[in-house]
A = this chain, B = another copy of it.
Amino acid sequence: MTTIRIVFLGTSASVPQKNRFLSGLAMQIENGDVLLFDCGEGTQYQIMKYKVNFQKIVKIFLSHLHGDHIYGIFGLLSTMNLAERSNPLKIYGPPGTKMLLERFFGEKLENGFSYPIVILDTEEGFVCEDEGYQIVAKRTIHSVYTLSYAYIEKDRLGHFDIKKAKELNVKKGTKWQQLQKGKSVLSEENKVILPEMILGPKRRGFKIVIGSDGIYQEEDFVPFAMGADVLVLEATFSDINESKAKEKHHSTSRWSAIIARKAKAKKLYLTHISPRLDEEDNLEKQAQEEFPDAIIAYDGLEIHLNRKDLDKG
């Protein structure tokens, strides 16, 4: 059973390629909500193609305001409107996001859509939280203000220990359920039973880090990405173009893999692939030299995370 489903919607850098659309990634979380990271042109086509429920998108996180990461948002918002969506949509992005969308849609943004749109200009640090998770942002070194986002699940309560519950004489039924929700109850002897007396140690949740364009500064980014179950980073260049990467404020696949290794990530997915010929093989090879669990993402690639696997690990 899938707890979290991640779908790469577009994995090309700057310009489209035959088999790669522009940047976009959808993450469907446990309650069915979809979080969308970036929205390059054609994102709504990919959402349809790869069977993501677009009306379940509750939050869109834009990394930066370059066209190849955002030109799909106009059509997506319009299509949601034509489909008579009613549930609110929140859009987070770097400073300037609100102005850009207000300038584009004009007054329509206020009350011309069938659903409320809330746009929140965001800086690095805490972005938002919801039941079960929070989103934190971190800047990268890029030509414009650019944010990477971390989806961090809150710790979950430990496993319910039936044996202990019986030992402490807690009546089965409602009281057990209360304890499982983290609430204290009274035992049959009217003693206060705290949940930590019955539940095992807290269990960590998933951490998924969606890195956007730019150079990831080790001292900042390694702690930000530390222990990520899924780490997505850019790989616009290969070793041979290191100087170009520096000049253009992009990463090589090797640099990203070094970050993954130092951050002890479980798995690295490289995206933002350039249309330059011949480089793709090198990208993967060079990354794997630093971090064997690295692969180049492609449009339609899906990652399925299972809560049970996390608890095992």
A residues neighboring B (CB under 8 Å): 14-18, 21-22, 41-42, 44-45, 48-49, 67-68, 71-72, 74-75, 78-79, 82-83, 103-104
Contact = CB atoms under 8 A, between A and B. Distances in A.
Nearest to A106: B103
A72 B14 CA distance: 15
B71 A14 contact: no
Copies in the assembly, this chain: 2
A143 B103 CA distance: 22
6 contacts: A16-B75, A16-B79, A21-B45, A41-B42, A41-B75, A103-B104
Nearest to A78: B67
A266 to B, nearest CB: 33
Given A15-B79, A104-B104, 11 more contacts: A14-B82, A22-B75, A41-B44, A41-B45, A41-B71, A41-B72, A42-B42, A68-B75, A71-B71, A71-B74, A71-B75
Contact of A44 (B16, B44, B75, B104): B16
A18 B17 CA distance: 19
A42 B45 CA distance: 8
A12 to B, nearest CB: 10
Contacts of A103: 103-104
Find the residue from A16, A18, A82 having the highest chain B CB count within 10 A: A16
A282 to B, nearest CB: 22
Contacts of A82: 14-15
Q: Which 4 A-B pairs have the closest CB atoms?
A: A41-B75, A67-B78, A42-B42, A71-B75
Nearest to A13: B82
A45 B43 CA distance: 12
A48 B18 contact: yes
A15 B85 CA distance: 14
A71 B105 CA distance: 12
A209 to B, nearest CB: 27
